[in-house]
Amino acid sequence: MLSLLSLFKTNRAVTSVGNVAIREYAARKGTRERKLKLKKKRKQETKVEVPVKKIYGREFNLVYVKQRPFDDSHYKEPIDDVFFHPRFRSQEYSFVDVVKFHREIHHETVYNQPKAPLMFRVDIDMKYPNRVTKCLDPWKSLIEMKAPFLLEGTTKPTVLAFCRENAEDILSAEQAGADKAGGSDLIKLVQAGEVRTSDFDYIVAHPLIVTDLAAIRGLMKKQFPTVRSRTIGTNLEEIITTLKNGIKVRVEHSSQEPDFGYFTACVGMLHMETGALEGNFQAYMQDTLKHRPTGKDPNDFLLQCHAYTEFSFEKLKINWRDYIPK
Quick: pLDDT tens for 242-279: 999 999 999 998 888 888 999 999 999 999 999 999 99
The pLDDT assigned to 5 comes to 46
Residue 1's Cα: distance from chain center in Å? Answer: 92
Predicted pLDDT of residue 181 = 93
Tell me what the mean pLDDT of segment 2-27 comes to: 52
Per-residue pLDDT, 2: 47
Q: What percent of the chain has pLDDT over 70?
A: 84
Entry pTM: 0.74
Q: For helices 167-176 and 236-245, what crossing angle results, to 10°?
A: 20
Model confidence pLDDT, tens digit, residues 211-235 = 999 899 989 888 899 988 889 999 9
In this predicted structure, the answer to whether residue 46 has a pLDDT above a threshold of 70 is: no
Domains belonging to the chain, first-starting first, are: 93-139+251-323 (3.30.190.20), 159-245 (3.40.50.790)
| Residue 32: exposure state from Cβ atoms within 10 A (0-12, 13-18, ≥19) | exposed
pLDDT for the residue numbered 231:
92
Mean pLDDT of 307-313: 93
For the chain, the maximum distance between any two Cα atoms, rounded to a whole number of angstroms, is 123
Could you tell me which of 186, 155, 146 has the C-alpha nearest to residue 169?
A: 186
Mean pLDDT of all residues in the chain? 85
Tens-digit pLDDT profile for residues 17-43 = 455 555 556 666 677 788 888 888 777
Query: pLDDT at position 7, please?
Result: 45
- For residues 212 and 224, give the distance between their C-alpha atoms in angstroms, rounded to a whole number: 12
Judged against a pLDDT cut of 70, whether residue 192 lies above it is answered with yes
User: For 143-183, how does the pLDDT look when each residue is reduced to its tens digit (9 = 90+)?
Assistant: 999 999 998 888 889 999 999 888 899 999 999 999 999 99
